[in-house]
Amino acid sequence: MFRRKKSVTGDRDAASSLDVVDTSAPMEGPHDRSVVDDLAGYYGELGFGHIDLGSLVIGVPRGRDLNVALDQQGRPEFHVVTQVSRVIPRAFAAPKTAGQWRTMVTEMRDQLEQQGADASIVDGPWGRELVAELPNATFRAIGVDGARWTAEIRVMSTPDLADQAAEEGREVFRHLLVNRGEGPMPAREQLPLTVPDEIQNALAQAQSQLAAQQQAQAYQQQMAAGGASAGAGQPPAQQQPTPQQPAPQAQQQVPQAAPDRPRRDGSAMDRLRGDDDL
């Protein structure tokens, strides 16, 4: 099920003496996908659900939800959610030499400071973590360099629950699996996800609903402006019907299990628990 042929961050130190033990990185994940033979067995022993997205396998601890949203570039991204935290895992191509995460976290800090945030770099279990205080929120980025990949999670929470949220994020982070692939990719390019068809369909439906509502709202605004300029005594123009349902959230929940499949812990990820075909 689980072959320890590679370390947490690959074999970049394999040429060094076998008597020297590097204690700077934890003996836990994120792991390279190749070290796990049986996804269902690996996550089943943890009591996790999981979703296989090709380049990234995300484990979902019991009692948490997995939601999907579109990022600023219109790409799907997956969020592990509780009432305390929102954890967003991602993975990037990296050069063979380590050091990409160090550069990334420094640049993130500089960008946040330019935007007026109080940002700092702190030591965490994997090394450098970025913590930024935003209006009514705390942002934390945790990352590590692997074998030609860099894994990252971003954790959002309210300031009073930031410490608990950080631990929830680390629990997800240590059980990520990354499949870099063998093809050439520019360093720091985000690894593409293979999204299940049912989630693609749910996203497309949500986008259509949102576009329809935006169009209806724009039409109503135009009619209101036209009616004000036309003055009294003219009949109101016929309005198009507006959607009866509210605008869909940008964040869409993964479809739940079919009725004939029993729920185990009340999580929206029950249908993924032990499944290896998503």
Q: Kindly report, residue by residue over 196-220, the tens digit of the pLDDT.
A: 888 888 888 877 887 888 889 888 8
**pLDDT at res. 230:** 55
Residue partners of 15: CB distance under 8 A and separation at least 6 = none
Please tell me the total number of residues recorded for the chain in this structure: 278
Beta bridge partners of 93: 149
Distance of alpha carbon 229 from its chain centroid, rounded?
Answer: 48
**pLDDT at res. 45:** 95
Element containing residue 225 per DSSP (H, E): helix 197-230
DSSP annotation of 239: P
Residue partners of 40: CB distance under 8 A and separation at least 6 = 50, 274, 275, 276
**pLDDT at res. 124:** 95
**pLDDT at res. 205:** 83
- CB-based burial label for 48 (10 Å; 0-12, 13-18, 19+): buried
| pTM, 2 dp | 0.70
Question: What residues in the chain have per-residue pLDDT under 50?
Answer: 4-26, 235-278
Beta bridge partners of 92: 150, 190
**pLDDT at res. 227:** 64
What is the per-residue pLDDT across 52-80, written as a single tens digit (0 to 9) for each?
Answer: 999 999 999 999 999 998 888 888 899 99
Structure tokens at 184: 């050439």
**pLDDT at res. 203:** 83
**pLDDT at res. 169:** 97
User: Helix or strand or coil: residue 56?
Assistant: strand
